[in-house]
Amino acid sequence: SALGCRDITIWDPIPERAKEHAARYPGMKTVDTFEEGLQQKPDAVFICSPPALHMPQAEKAILAGCHVMVEKPLAIDMESLLKVKALAEERNRMVSVALCNRYHKGLQRIKEIVDSGCLGKIINIRGAMGEFFPESRPDYRGTYYVQYNGCFELIHGVDYTVWVAGGEPQQIYGICGSDADIGFYSPDNAEVLFRTDNGVTCSVNLAFYQSPSHNELTVYGTEGTCELKYTHNDYTIRTYTRATRQWQEERMDGLYRNMMFAAEDKEFLESITSGVYRGCSMADAARAVKIYCKVYGDQNPPPEGWR
């Protein structure tokens, strides 16, 4: 390809699943272990395993000389995250985090509006991300989502709220639990409250029991308000400023889910080929992990057998 990708190898702990994926794409190879894949000395490794494996596998990949793209949540504890971050810096390896919602055109647009200053000083941001998980993932009872992580798998909602706020979360509080009777041992809902060091108070709701699926962000500033609602296929933004004294609406249709993944992967691969890093860094993603650990993760490690 134009980005120089030639050899792609896949490893999955379920061999049949790896072979099934490889059969769809001519030329893709499979290996029996993660370590066997690293022995082939790839330029880049994409880590799409359950969150408890992210940092151990990223560490191995960096030690093998690879650049790394890691799925979200980046880590389940800050200690391992900071250890791998220091290793990546020491070995001069790029690590990007797959927080794909940052590449959604609606979120990019609201970030532009906030950064333009038309809303004045930002005081408060409210984010929400919810879906009815038994419908979107019928096999959910056999996943790690149910055993650990739960609705924090929707950490996109936390990440894009911090991203738009533009500061470091400091005062962090939260309530989470399994209350919807859909078979979760981990939380199926969470309410998170935090304040950033640049003075923005933020609240985020995450839920795996809600219908219909929704993604929302509302930003309140001293000079106006901006509201975003989006799906994989479209977005609507309503903006009110004291200067215009009226709501202005913009909408975009014709989007599709894979656009976000393609954009983040392209940016990561271009960073490798150019040597100029662009993307969601470990330092960026650490802000959401810090909130996750404070509200839930540090006190709730994965049960044995669900790594």
The total number of residues shown for the chain amounts to 307
Q: Is the pLDDT of residue 304 over 80?
A: no
Going by their DSSP bridges, the two strands 209-221 and 122-132 should be labelled as antiparallel
How many beta carbons lie within 10 A of that of residue 100, not counting itself? 20
Question: Of 10-19, 157-166, 184-193, 293-302, which range is least confident?
Answer: 293-302
pLDDT greater than 70 at residue 186 = yes
Contact call for residues 188 and 179 (beta carbons, < 8 A): yes
Tens digits of residue pLDDT in 211-223: 999 999 999 999 9
Count the helices and strands in the chain (H runs, E runs). Answer: 10, 13
pLDDT at 1 over 60: no
Q: Read off the pLDDT of each residue in 182-191 and give the average, rounded to a whole number.
A: 96
Beta pairing partners, 96 = 69
Q: How high is the pLDDT of residue 252? A: 98
Task: Give dist(CA 74, CA 58) in Å, integer.
Answer: 10
Phi-psi map region of 275: left, alpha, beta (phi>0 left; psi -120 to 50 alpha): left
Q: How many other CB atoms sit within 10 Å of the CB of residue 117? A: 11
Please state, rounded to an integer, the average pLDDT across all residues of the chain: 94
Phi, psi of 232 (to 5 degrees): -65, -20
Question: What pLDDT score was predicted for residue 37?
Answer: 96
pLDDT at 32 over 70: yes
Q: 3-class DSSP state for residue 35?
A: helix
Indicate the pTM of the whole model.
0.94
**pLDDT of 297:** 78
Q: Tell me: pLDDT of 63 over 70.
A: yes
294 pLDDT above the threshold of 60: yes
pLDDT score of 75: 96
Which of 290, 288, 277, 263 is closest to 93 using CA atoms?
Answer: 277
Residue 232 has pLDDT above 60, yes or no: yes
- Give pLDDT, residue 306: 66
Q: What average pLDDT score do residues 90-99 get?
A: 98
Question: Who has greater pLDDT, 263 or 300?
Answer: 263
Contact 281, 97 (CB under 8 A): yes
∠ CA 98-259-158, nearest 5°, is: 40
Q: Which residue from 209, 240, 30 is spatially nearest to 137, judged by alpha carbons?
A: 209
81's tokens: 């995250």
The overall longest dimension of the chain from CA atoms, in Å, is: 62
Contact 270, 94 (CB under 8 A): no
Average pLDDT over every residue of 150-156 = 96
pLDDT band at 70 (very low <50, low <70, confident <90, very high): very high
CA dist 295 and 280 (Å) reads 22
Q: Which two tokens stand for residue 261?
A: 């993944």
> Average pLDDT in the 80-87 region?
98
Asked whether residue 264 carries a pLDDT value surpassing 90, the answer given is yes
Are the C-beta atoms of residues 52 and 70 closer than 8 Å to each other? no
Q: Is the pLDDT of residue 3 over 60?
A: no
DSSP letters spanning 78-106? HHHHHHHHHHHHHHT--EEEE-GGGG-HH
Band of pLDDT at residue 307, cut at 50, 70 and 90: low
- pLDDT value, residue 301: 76
